[in-house]
């Protein structure tokens, strides 16, 4: 009996080693571990496989703490990959995309690449053509090397130290991120961070989802519901105005579920600015991760994804910038509106808009954020 227990313990431990050592393995999505071995700035990249007993499997790389693949069953139990990405690490290194990335130090824009905190002005890296800071500058956290702190069969914990002054942001920011595949068929994401100087922080995962499992198709027929009565509008240059507009009687009203594509091409100024949906919805229950904030459903596969979060907003982007020119996994060139992002976060330009929830983090405080993508079938 002791030998049997020892044997199975060794098998379990070997499974962990497969995901974090030099051993070769192939994932359910067809990814090969050896295709993710590279050196970036003297540090080794790797692929980590986490899963549950139902077969739900996520693959994570420490380059940008990215979700590379996410295998989810349909109504018949068929596992399919539902996120965009590349089949090897070279794709991520050569293509300036945020597929599956952990974006920071501040996702979204900070206008004019500046903000004032405690009476001091901080000038950030202006990496946008109009002189703004977008997604925390270039490179953001999605193009940085993260350290792997712990790996289990169902979770991986990564850390990143963003040094004082990186892309203009103050403070040495220590970030810890844990991905967990739960037995409830969810991808659970937890963030923690501390700083030694007052700073601002807005972290988020930037996965591109297509619940159909056919990453060569549009998401416009998928049904969406959003628990929000207001959204943040743009001016003509896609800069947030600092206002909150009601969704009622606009194409951004998803309080009653309907297809993403039903109103996406309406003649409405906010849609025309970004050629679709690319807005932050202000959630009705900010901070409450016990109830769904958003759900999306694909009728063909029967997959439904519910999103729970402690964040005050979800920024929904319908892949309006995808043009069928970037070749990803399985040689698919991701098409226009071929995926949708659900970025759980604070609002853009919050440091310059005190009416928005604060993104300030101070020494002695611990930033914490929690988001869950939970999967069911009809």
Positions marked active-site: 206, 343
Length of the chain: 378
197 SS3 class: coil
DSSP class of 41: T
Rg of the chain over CA atoms, in angstroms? Answer: 20
State the Cα–Cα distance between residues 254 and 340, nearest whole angstrom: 15
State the Cα–Cα distance between residues 257 and 263, nearest whole angstrom: 12
Please enumerate in sequence order all residues whose Cβ is within 8 A of that of 196, keeping only pairs 6 or more positions apart, or say none.
164, 171, 172, 363
172 SS3 class: coil
Retrieve residue 25's tokens.
């393995």
- The H-or-E segment that residue 180 falls in is strand 173-181
Which residues, listed in sequence order, are joined to residue 123 by a DSSP beta bridge? 114
Beta carbons of 233 and 252 less than 8 angstroms apart: no
Residue bearing tokens 């596969």: 301
Q: How far is CA 54 from CA 48, 78, 145, 307, in A?
A: 18, 11, 31, 20
Burial class (CB in 10 A: 0-12, 13-18, 19+), 264: middle
Retrieve residue 301's tokens.
């596969």
Burial class (CB in 10 A: 0-12, 13-18, 19+), 295: buried
State the Cα–Cα distance between residues 46 and 313, nearest whole angstrom: 32
Q: Are strands 47-51 and 79-81 parallel, antiparallel or unpaired?
A: unpaired
Which residues, listed in sequence order, are joined to residue 230 by a DSSP beta bridge? 246, 282
């Amino acid at each position: 009996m002791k030998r049997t227990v020892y044997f199975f313990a060794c098998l379990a431990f070997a499974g962990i080693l497969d995901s974090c050592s030099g051993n070769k393995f192939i994932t359910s999505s067809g990814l090969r571990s050896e295709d993710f071995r590279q050196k970036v700035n003297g540090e080794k990249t790797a692929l980590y496989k986490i899963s549950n007993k139902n077969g739900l499997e996520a693959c994570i790389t420490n380059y940008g703490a990215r979700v590379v693949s996410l295998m989810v069953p349909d109504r018949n139990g068929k596992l399919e990959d539902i996120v965009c990405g590349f089949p090897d690490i070279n794709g991520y290194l050569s293509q300036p995309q945020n597929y599956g990335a952990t974006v920071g130090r501040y996702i979204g824009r900070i206008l004019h690449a500046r903000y004032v905190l405690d009476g001091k002005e901080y000038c950030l890296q202006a990496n946008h053509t109009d002189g703004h800071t977008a997604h925390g500058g270039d490179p953001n956290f999605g193009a940085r090397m993260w350290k792997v702190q712990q790996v289990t069969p169902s979770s991986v914990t990564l850390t990143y130290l963003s040094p004082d002054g990186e892309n203009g942001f103050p403070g040495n920011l220590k970030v810890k991120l844990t991905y967990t595949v739960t037995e409830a068929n969810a991808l659970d994401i937890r963030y923690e961070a501390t700083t030694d100087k007052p700073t601002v922080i807005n972290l988020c995962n930037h996965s591109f989802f297509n619940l159909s499992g056919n990453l060569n198709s549009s998401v416009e027929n998928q049904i969406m519901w959003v628990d929000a009565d207001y959204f943040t509008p743009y001016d003509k240059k896609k800069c947030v105005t600092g206002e909150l507009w009601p969704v009622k009687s606009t194409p951004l009203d998803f309080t009653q579920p309907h297809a993403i594509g039903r109103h996406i091409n309406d003649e409405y100024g906010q849609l025309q600015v970004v050629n679709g949906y690319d807005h932050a919805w202000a959630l009705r229950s900010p901070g409450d991760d016990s109830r769904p904030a958003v759900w999306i459903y694909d009728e063909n596969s029967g997959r439904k994804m519910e999103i729970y979060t402690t964040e005050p907003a979800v920024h929904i982007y319908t892949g309006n910038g995808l043009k069928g020119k970037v070749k990803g996994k399985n040689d698919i060139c991701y098409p226009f509106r071929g995926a949708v992002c659900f970025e759980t976060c604070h609002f853009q330009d919050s440091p310059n808009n005190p009416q928005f929830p604060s993104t300030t983090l101070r020494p002695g405080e611990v930033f914490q954020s929690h988001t869950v993508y939970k999967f069911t079938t009809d």
